[in-house]
Structure formats: C-alpha cells, structure tokens
Amino acid sequence: MKTKISSFSFLALCAVAFTALSSPAAETNTLSETPAQHDARMHWFRDARFGMFIHWGLYSVPAGEWQDKTGYGEWFLEETHTPVSQYEKYADQFNPTKFNATNWVRAAKAAGVKYIVITSKHHDGFGMYPSDLTDWCIKRTPFKRDPMAELAAACKAEDITFCFYHSIMDWHHPDWGQRREWNDVAKNAPAPDMDRYTAYMKGQLKELLTRYGPIGLLWFDGQWESCWTKERGDDLYRYVRSLQPDIIVNNRVSKPANTAGGGFAHADGMGDYGTPEQTIPANGFGAGVDWESCMTMNDHWGYNKHDQNWKSAQTLVRNLIDCSSKGGNYLLNVGPTAEGLIPEASLERLAAIGKWMQQNSETIYGSSASPFPRKLPWGRCTQKTSGDVTKLYLHVFDWPKNGQLLVPGLNNKVQKAYLLADQSHKTLATKNVKEGVQVDVPANAAKEISTTVVLEINDAASVEPAPKILASASNTFGNETAQYGPEFAFDGEDGTRWATDDSTSQAWIAIDLGSKKTIHGVRIKEAYAGRVQKYELQYRDGETWKTFLTGATLNANFETAFPPVKAQEFRLNILSAKQGPTINEIEWF
C-alpha cells in the first residue's frame, strides 16, 4: 500500500496523465448536446423514477459500534478519529462470503427499482473494487472477488441500470487537500497536492468507467470541502462524459454557483440533476429541473446493527409517489452487513413496496408531475399522456368518509373514472362542480398504503391556477423569495416555509385575504421552534396596524383563539427573536 500511494514517480506520472487527460479542448467537444440530445440522455432516468442506493464498505464491519457508542455508520473513521492505520485493519475482517449479487438485484427488481447506485468508494477512500492504482481497496481483504463486477453482471442479467456512487472527498489519500490529523499513514507523505489527488481520482474513475460496461449515472459526493473547486468539478464532469458520453452525472460533481433548497438541490452548477437528501422538496424544483431525493430506510446510510428506527412501507411508498408527483426520482438506500446481506427489515420493506408496485407501477414509471398547483388535501397526483388521452392517477392517502372525492380546480369533463385495482375498471360516477370534479368512490375501497383512482380526460388537464397568495414580509432569507418567500407560510404545505436572514431579530409577515373576513383564531407552525420570543397579531385599519393580541413564544403547533376580528389584512409582527424567525404555516380561522 505505502509503495503505491507514496511512490512519487507514480504520482508524478499521474500528474502528467492528469494534464493530458483534462485538457478542456480534448473533452468539451463531446459535451455540446442539443436539448433533444439532453432529453434523450436523461430519458431512462426520468422514466425510471425509482432507484436503490447501496452504502457498503469497511464501515459495515464495526456495524455502528465503537467503544460504548452505537450511533456510527459510514462516517465511522471521521467521527471516531480512529488512526487510519487502525481503521485499515477492518480490511482484514471484511470477508462478505454471504454476498450474492443476484439476490440483491432481484430483491431490488421485485421492489420495482429500475437502477442501482453502489458505493464504489466512500469518504474513507476504500475502493470496493480491485483498483490498480492503490491497494487500499477490496484486494486488501480476504475477499478475493470483485463485488462491482458481480453486481454489474447481475444488473445486466436483470435489466437493471448499474450506477456508481464515488466520493470526491478522501480521508485516506495523502493528497486530499484537507488531510486529517488522524491520518497517520500519510504523516511522512509530502504536503497534499490536489492536482495529484485529482489525477488519482480520474485514474480510478477510468477503471470504473472502462471495466464494468455502460454505467447509467455517477453519483458524486463529498464535494463540499474547500479544496474541491468548481473548476475541478466542471472539469471532472467533462472528463467523466468523455469516457462515457451517455452517462448522467449528479450536481455534486461540482459546486453550484449558489446553493438553494438544502444546499445540494438546485443543479445550478455543472451536473445533470439536483440531489436533495433525506427530504422531498415541497414543490419540486419547477418544470425542466431534474432531481432525485435520496433517503435512508432507517437513520443510517451504512449498516448499523443497533438502528431499528425503520420507516414504514407506507411511508416509503408514499415518498416514492410524492417524488413522482413533483417530477423527481426516489433513491432509497440499503446498508448491507459486512457478511454481504441486506438487512431483513430492508428486504421486508422492498417486498412490500414491490407488492404495491405490482398493481400501481404504471402510475410511477414514465409519469410526469401533477398538474395541480397545490398539494392535494387527500394525497398526490401523477399523470401520463398517450395520444390524446391523459390519465390522471389520483393517489389517495386519506379516503373520503363520505365517498365523495373532490379534485379541486379540475375543469375537464372526465371521460372515464375507475379504481386501478379494479381489474374490470368499473366506472365511477363523476360530475363537474364549482370547486372542481367530484368522484363518487366506494367507501370500502381504501388501501392501507395508497389507493389509486384513475381519471381519463381528453388532452391535457385544465386546472384552475392556484389563487394568488397576497403575502408580504419585511425580510426573506437571502432574498430567495422563490424558496423562502412569505407566501410559503400560507400555502397549506408544511414542507415549505417563510424564512428570514439568520441575523434577523425583528420581522413581520402579512397576508391580504382579498376581502374583509372575520377571524376567531390562528394556528402558527414555527419551523425552528423557540426562535420567536415576543410577537403581536395585528390587523390593518386604514394606514395603521392595530394590535389585537400579544404573546411570547410560539412553537411547531401553536394555536390560539381570540375575540372575533373583522379585517382584510392581518399580520404577525415579531418584536423579538433569538435568530432569523422562520414559519412553516400561518392559518387564520
């Protein structure tokens, strides 16, 4: 190991290779693609909607445990500050003899997964394949097989798109710009050299993109440290696409010009799509922006034997539906054991998702985002148009007790309505009402996870635009009104919020109800409870705001009633806050 990493002639060689490899002129010509070519390259990804993430590596050996603590995962090395020379010993214990790539891929396929993203190298720098550029890889273990080759073959056999996760950050490599003090194996190495590191990483990516057949996408990660630059990221994007022009690359290859929505979401840097993590954006990122939400099934990406905080199959399926209804993909994670087994709890959930997909996969694959401007009160909607018929797939989470499902704002005349689960597609009665379309549904048709009602309409959906929310505020976080504007506190969506700059200690947010209304109370959902320390509720009377209630703190589910107040405009005036107040929802009633 030492020889490879620290033999300067080799690294000097890499440096040369680096320059040759990354001369922009050589690579850019493979990149210029027309919008049609871009759509063609993204097609499989947009059609797939559902992928499986696999975090597997040496960190699976300690299985979350160290000394008396049990909360670790794939960040074991960084969080324990274990000397790297000690951490390397886990390689001697990594021997996943129960690993069976076909079982993994078939479990994914049966769940309805269309692509698999496996960690070829995570932040600990350990290569989960036999690299020629280092022996800090699977070769170093008693497991003398190539799990990446076996998975690639199994994916090919099962028609699942094979993809790699690859960490840019590398806690093990001596040339990674931010070397860790506990990296004792690098203590005699020369100062970190990011050119040499980038050449090394490109070398490994060349191995991964030339040995395992067509790779669907590259899921980069660990780009956030300052030693990794936008220039290096943009160049890496070009390099990867020069090796496989049809490959898709996530936005974490580089650094976006600015970060919006959780830091990774908005693909405004190099990269083909955004990657929100452990969250599903309230309204997606608008038409034309590709994105994929990645999420754990419990609280860890890597295997942690103590972590039994598993999400229910219902939650996981509804998350998949939620992503599709907003035009995005869902990348659901499993963290296999060091023996090479996917945890039983994960397999159970994959099987349950598969059961739902057996009946409902047409509502997900190749579907596009909901035509409705707002979250539907009873669930979500995906749609698919073929010819001049559009199918609206209503995913009903909360079944109407009165057997009347209102589809708000839909103007179309419904040609046919039926339950997808009903093989005979028996027609359900529908009628256009002032608020939209009412569908008469059988009271006993509700399914535990989600019930699909299909509306067939001619041509595209014609939907009432969302009533404009006449909201205003004294401050909005980073002036990012599209993401944190005041209307997000009145959109009926807990996943969105009005936010203010962190330094804000006083602020107000107001709403114009369009006409005079009498209100008797208010519900306020504070996003970060405890920030507001003093506030007043006011209504506008001519040019002056009149206070009708004062208070101290709010919280995530604050509610209060007060004597009736009749006015058109109301506001929450925050007189003192510990840090930039931010509100999910304000509901006057």
Nearer to ligand FHN, 66 or 548 (CB): 66
CB atoms within 10 A of CB 143: 17
Nearer to ligand FHN, 56 or 558 (CB): 56
- Segment holding 3, helix H or strand E: helix 2-6
Beta strand pairing call for 558-577 and 507-526: antiparallel
Cα–Cα distance for residue pair 193/201, rounded to 1 Å: 12
Task: Give least dist CB 268 to ligand FHN, A.
Answer: 18
Cα–Cα distance for residue pair 491/386, rounded to 1 Å: 32
Task: Give least dist CB 261 to ligand FHN, A.
Answer: 14
Question: Which residue is associated with the tokens 């670790």?
Answer: 72
Nearer to ligand FHN, 117 or 417 (CB): 117
Task: Give least dist CB 294 to ligand FHN, A.
Answer: 5
Task: Answer for the pair 125, 185: CB distance below 8 angstroms, yes or no.
Answer: no
Nearer to ligand FHN, 298 or 370 (CB): 298
- Three-class SS state of 13: helix
Task: Answer for the pair 493, 487: CB distance below 8 angstroms, yes or no.
Answer: no
17 Rama class: left (phi>0) / alpha (psi -120 to 50) / beta: alpha
Cα–Cα distance for residue pair 176/380, rounded to 1 Å: 45
What secondary structure, in 3-state letters, does 343-364 show?
CHHHHHHHHHHHHHHHHHHHHC
Nearer to ligand FHN, 277 or 339 (CB): 277
Question: What radius of gyration do the chain's Cα atoms show?
Answer: 27
Task: Give least dist CB 163 to ligand FHN, A.
Answer: 13
Nearer to ligand FHN, 164 or 570 (CB): 164
Q: Which chain residues interact with ligand FHN by CB under 6 A?
A: 74-75, 221, 277, 294, 301
Task: Give least dist CB 119 to ligand FHN, A.
Answer: 7
Task: Give least dist CB 55 to ligand FHN, A.
Answer: 6
Nearer to ligand FHN, 56 or 508 (CB): 56
Nearer to ligand FHN, 77 or 428 (CB): 77
Task: Answer for the pair 209, 247: CB distance below 8 angstroms, yes or no.
Answer: yes
Nearer to ligand FHN, 127 or 409 (CB): 127
- Segment holding 207, helix H or strand E: helix 194-211
Task: Give least dist CB 335 to ligand FHN, A.
Answer: 10
Task: Give least dist CB 301 to ligand FHN, A.
Answer: 4
Task: Give least dist CB 278 to ligand FHN, A.
Answer: 8
Nearer to ligand FHN, 74 or 491 (CB): 74
Task: Give least dist CB 492 to ligand FHN, A.
Answer: 29
Per-position DSSP letters for 107-121, written without gaps between them: HHHHHT--EEEEEEE
Task: Give least dist CB 273 to ligand FHN, A.
Answer: 13
Nearer to ligand FHN, 74 or 207 (CB): 74
Cα–Cα distance for residue pair 581/253, rounded to 1 Å: 33
Task: Answer for the pair 146, 87: CB distance below 8 angstroms, yes or no.
Answer: no
- Supply the angle between the helices 313-325 and 344-360 in degrees, to the nearest 10: 50
- Supply the angle between the helices 344-360 and 101-111 in degrees, to the nearest 10: 40
Question: Which residue is associated with the tokens 């905080």?
Answer: 309
The residue type at 12: A
Q: How far is CA 411 from the centre of its chain?
A: 33
Task: Give least dist CB 75 to ligand FHN, A.
Answer: 6
Task: Answer for the pair 207, 133: CB distance below 8 angstroms, yes or no.
Answer: yes
Measured torsion, CA atoms of residues 39, 42, 48, 53, in degrees rounded to the nearest 10: -160
Task: Answer for the pair 325, 374: CB distance below 8 angstroms, yes or no.
Answer: no
Nearer to ligand FHN, 74 or 175 (CB): 74
Cα–Cα distance for residue pair 42/231, rounded to 1 Å: 24
Task: Give least dist CB 69 to ligand FHN, A.
Answer: 17
- Three-class SS state of 258: coil
Per-position DSSP letters for 147-164, written without gaps between them: HHHHHHHHHHHTT-EEEE
Dihedral over Cα of 199, 204, 207, 213: its sign: negative
Nearer to ligand FHN, 166 or 232 (CB): 166
Task: Give least dist CB 178 to ligand FHN, A.
Answer: 14
Cα–Cα distance for residue pair 292/46, rounded to 1 Å: 10
Nearer to ligand FHN, 298 or 430 (CB): 298
Cα–Cα distance for residue pair 78/55, rounded to 1 Å: 16
